[in-house]
Each structure stands twice: as C-alpha cells, then as structure tokens.
A and B are shown apart, each in its own frame.
Chain A
Amino acid sequence: MKNRRSVGSVLSRILLLLLLLLTLMPFYLLLVNSFKKETDIIHAPFGIPIQWQFMNYVKAMPQILRPMCNSFLVTAAIILLTCVISLLAAYAFSRFRFFLKEPLYFGVIALLMIPGFVLLIPQFVQVVDLGLYDTYWALILVPAAYQVAMGTFLIRSSIEGISPSLFEAATLAGANDLQILRYVVLPMAKPILATVTIMTGLSSWNNYIWPLVASSSDSTKQISVALTALVRDAVYGKGVLFAGYMCASLPIILLFCFASKSFIEGLSQGAVKG
C-alpha cells in the first residue's frame, strides 16, 4: 500500500486541483474585480487590486438595497408558508387513515412531474385574473405552490419514522392535534425542516423567471431581476456591477459557510425531485 503513490495517483491529484481551480476561478474574478477600477479590470483581470476601490460598493448600494430587502421578505415568507403547509399535510398523511388518502397524496406529489416552465404563462394569467400582479402575494404564493410538494414528501417520511407509541402516549395524555404537532412532531422533524428551509430558501432567493414575469415596479422588484438591470457607473465602470453581484451572493454564501453540511444535504435532497 505504501508505495502506491504511482504516477497515476499524482496525476489524478493534480487534475482534481486543476478542476477545482477552474471551478472557483469565476468567483475569484468576481471578488477581486469588485474592488478594481475599470482600467485595471480590463488590463489585469486576474491580479489582486492595486488600489482597493471601495467606491464600487458605495455606488452599487442604492441600486440593490431595495431589491435585496424585497427578496429577503419574499424568501422568508415562502419558507414559512412552505414549512407550515407541508407540515400540516404531512401530518395528515402519516397520522390518519381516511377515504381517498392515497389519491390525495398522489395529487400532491404529481406536481413534481409538471415541468415548471410550462406553467409560466398560465400562472401569470391566473395571477393577473386574481388581481395579484406585481404584488408580494404573487411572488410568494406561486413559488410556495411548487415547494409544498417536495416539502410534504420529505416531511411525511420523517414523521413516519417517529415511533407510534409516542403518539399514543400523547393522545392518552389528552393532547390535541395541534399540541401533538407542536410538542411531538416539531422537535423530531427539525432536521428535515432545516433541509426544507435550505432548499426553499435557496431557490426563492435565486429565482429569476417568476419575478421577471410577475413583478414590474421597484417596490416589488427581486434581487435576481435587479442584477440583470444594474447599470455601470459612468466614472467607476464595471466594478460597480461586480460589487452588486457580490452583495447579492453574500447572504447565502455566509449561511453556507456556517452550515455547509446541512446545505449539502439539502441540495442533494433537491435532486430527487425529477
């Protein structure tokens, strides 16, 4: 085993590092160029900034502060709504036996099979018909309608892992459903709720198409849409755009640094959607 550090294994190590380097390169470029002057961006995109240009961030702020606040609000609301609604539905499907239970469950899960893009126009029309166009309601409710299917699926399997005797004990102690949810289910479902929160939060913060279609005014504009409309500064140039991209990415990157393990779990779970 000891002298198995053959040429092959050294080469494969180098290849892996090269791939890693190439993967991270665009983000390195984003970071350093967000502090550079226009001339440096053009002539030395790969170098460390010679003069640190913090004005880029100052100039970007007014363009993205409002959209970021809007996105925070919408993302938080989608997460909350998705967790509560999925938890209620998952509780019903895992705790009770009732007429049409499996067809109703299929009705929830079948949504995962409808590709999102196909519904774009009819959802837009529906939102306009309901008078919700360009409101927070439209930005919150429609993405939440996507997320609850996956949420219910994940939380149901988690609740079914809870020992039935726990429920019996709670029922005998006179707990009603809401109390059982609060004191029995919620503590046990915390890890899966963290996963659902991460999946939902990530896709809401990064969502581009739906906000593009469903909102138009500055008071509802979401961060992804605002980023594509950022204008370069006449004096400071492209660096202002990069500063804007940095600010928009930072909240989730920070979360990722603190909870990378749950992130990776959440991201892997999201894959099973298809």
Chain B
Amino acid sequence: MRNAVHLPYRRRKSFLEIIRPYLFLIPIYALMVTFKYIPFFHAIEKSFFKWNGGNVNTFIGLQNYVDLFHSKQFGISLVNCLKFCLANIAISLTMPLLAAELLFAVRSAKAQYTIRTLLTFPMVVPGVVVILLWKWILSGDSGVLNAVLSSVGLDSLVTPWLGSSKTALFSVILVGFPWISGLQFLLYYGALQSIPRELFEASRIDGANTWQRFFRLDLPMLASQVKLIVTLAIINGVQVFETIFILTKGGPGTATLVPSLILYDSAFSFKKYGYSAAVGVVMFVLIMIVTVINQKLMKNTESGD
C-alpha cells in the first residue's frame, strides 16, 4: 500500500480497468489453488475418512487421530522427532555461529571472501549426493569412518554405524559434520557484518575482551537471527525425511522412525491415505504451535525489534 503507484486519476474507471489487476493474478491463483489450497483442505477433510485412495472411502470421525495417538510407533516417532529437533537446535546455535565468528575475526577481506565461498560450496551440491556420501562414510564394511578409526588404533569403536540401533540415530545426526555450511552460517555472518563498526571500536576502548564482546555485543545484535534459526531448526527437525529415508528407512527396528516416514509409508506402502493425512495434520499443528510459541517467547527476550 505504502508505495503503491497510482494511475493518473480518472473520473470513471472502465470495466477493463477495474478487472485489470485481477487479470495479472489469474496465473498465480490458478496454480496455487490447484496445487496448494485444494490439497491442503483435502488433506484436512480426508484425515476424518477411512480412505485407500480408491473405493474405500467412509467418514470415521476422529478415529484416525485416536488410532494415531494409541499407536506405539507414532509415539516412538514423536520422541525421535523431538531428539532431532533438539539436536538441530543445539547444532545450529553453536557450530555455524562459531564458524561465522572465526571467519569474521579474519582480517584480510580477500581471505574472508574466499573462505566464505568455500564454506558455502557444499550448499550447492545436491542434498541427495551429500546423504549418499555419508551413507558410504558411515557404512559398516567399507566405510571411511571405520577405516579412519581402525587406522588410528581405535578398533574398539568400529561399528556398523547405521546398522546398529544404538548408534543409528546419532549417525543420522552426524550427517553434514561439522554442520557449518548452510543458511545459518550465512545468516550469522551477514548479521555480524552489519553491526556498526563504531560499536566494536567502543567495546575495544572499554577494554572488553573477546568473550565479553561476544556476549554483550554480538549475541544481542544477533537476536533476530537466532529467533529465525531456532524456528527453522524446529521446522526442519519435524519434517526430516530425505536423510532418514535414504540412510535407514527408520530402522533398525524403530531406532530412527520419524512422523514423516510414517506419513509416507502409510500412504504409499499400506494405502491408508486417511491415516496418512491425519499424520500430516498433526505435523502441521505441531509446527504451527512451536512456531507461535517461539515467536512469543523470543519477542519477550528481545529488547525491541
């Protein structure tokens, strides 16, 4: 509204002029209604049905949700999901921030630029390639990790990382180690660069050491990035699919089972579309709740945004 540019004022708009803006919106709405809005409401509706995608299609009220919350598998998947979210938050609040601070401390602008570009590089490699590489690194028989461990004399640690239910969840989280290449890093680094130079100058004159500067200046200035990054970590944690689907398929047993996998399997393996839709709705509600709580909580801790 603020910057809207007006046509030269005319006394009476012709019919064409009135409908003109809407004509520009036809393509976007045709696309979005067909492939986002209709599916979205369809998913909510079908979560109240017993539906196999074909002839079986009966209204069963909340039965899918009741089944879901009585299912032991779903309970396990929620616990795993929580672990992923917590790991995601812990990782994205530490490693990328550490890398951003270390890079920011490099004095040569050229070196900063080169290192930032190199650190960004893994982001453009297809995610599937990264996951498949880690599948090889973590594999039991010919895996690189096991080879490294036994070559430095830590044979006792050699294990089928993805194949054992004790280490599977940890291994899946390990993918992408040291976890610094990503949006989080770019966000932190961008925010550090936008802090006014005078503030650093002032903190140096005040005799603040690196730690004091980090906690009293950098961290408060990064508050809105932290808020965004925590939200993203949770959203990504709840939706984690590709990594688990390719690495473990939820196994061994239920060691890495997550809701998105139940959603996928109940639809495509068992043709329980209604049940699958209910899983989707629960995931959606979870993400919404967490996002809102996070926004509210973080707002209170911020000095003003």
Q: Chain A interface (Cβ within 8 Å of chain B)?
A: 8-9, 12-13, 15-16, 19-20, 22-24, 26-27, 29-30, 41-42, 45, 84-86, 88-89, 91-92, 94-98, 101-102, 104, 107-108, 111, 113-126, 128, 130, 141-142, 144-146, 148-149, 152, 160-161, 164, 167-168, 171-172, 177, 202, 205-206, 208-209, 213, 223-224, 227-228, 238, 241, 245, 248-249, 252-253, 255-256, 260, 263-264, 267-268, 270-272, 274
Binds A, one of B68-76, B161-169, B263-271, B296-304: B263-271
Q: Chain B interface (Cβ within 8 Å of chain A)?
A: 1-8, 18, 20-22, 24-25, 27-29, 31-32, 34-36, 38-40, 42-43, 46, 53, 95, 98-99, 102-103, 105-106, 115-130, 132-134, 136-137, 142, 144, 147, 177-178, 180-181, 183, 186-187, 190, 210, 228, 231-232, 235, 238-239, 241-242, 246, 260, 263-264, 267-268, 273, 276-277, 280-281, 283-284, 287-288, 291
Contact at B102–A15, with CB atoms within 8 Å?
Answer: yes
What is the total of A-B residue contacts with beta carbons within 8 Å? 261
Contact at A206–B127, with CB atoms within 8 Å?
Answer: yes
User: How many angstroms from the CA of A261 to the CA of B178 in the assembled complex?
Assistant: 23
A123 surroundings in chain B (CB, below 8 A) = 35-36, 39
Contacting residue for A115 out of B4, B228, B238, B273, CB 8 A: B238
Q: Name A87's closest neighbour in chain B (CB-CB).
A: B24
Q: Which of B128, B177, B239 has most chain A Cβ within 10 Å?
A: B128
A84 surroundings in chain B (CB, below 8 A) = 27
- A117 with B125, Cβ < 8 A, contacts A29-B144, A94-B4, A213-B268 known: no
Contact at B21–A92, with CB atoms within 8 Å?
Answer: yes
User: How many angstroms from the CA of A116 to the CA of B91 in the assembled complex?
Assistant: 23
CB distance from A183 to the nearest CB of B (A): 16
A268 surroundings in chain B (CB, below 8 A) = 183, 186-187, 190
Contacting residue for B21 out of A9, A96, A148, CB 8 A: A96
Contact at A164–B283, with CB atoms within 8 Å?
Answer: no
CB distance from B269 to the nearest CB of A (A): 12
Q: Which 7 A-B pairs have CB atoms at the shortest separation, nearest pair first?
A: A122-B39, A92-B24, A145-B35, A122-B43, A96-B21, A16-B102, A271-B183
User: How many angstroms from the CA of A268 to the CA of B287 in the assembled complex?
Assistant: 22
CB distance from B230 to the nearest CB of A (A): 10
- A252 with B126, Cβ < 8 A, contacts A96-B21, A122-B42 known: yes
- A264 with B120, Cβ < 8 A, contacts A121-B43, A125-B39 known: yes
Q: Name A24's closest neighbour in chain B (CB-CB).
A: B118
Contact at B239–A23, with CB atoms within 8 Å?
Answer: no
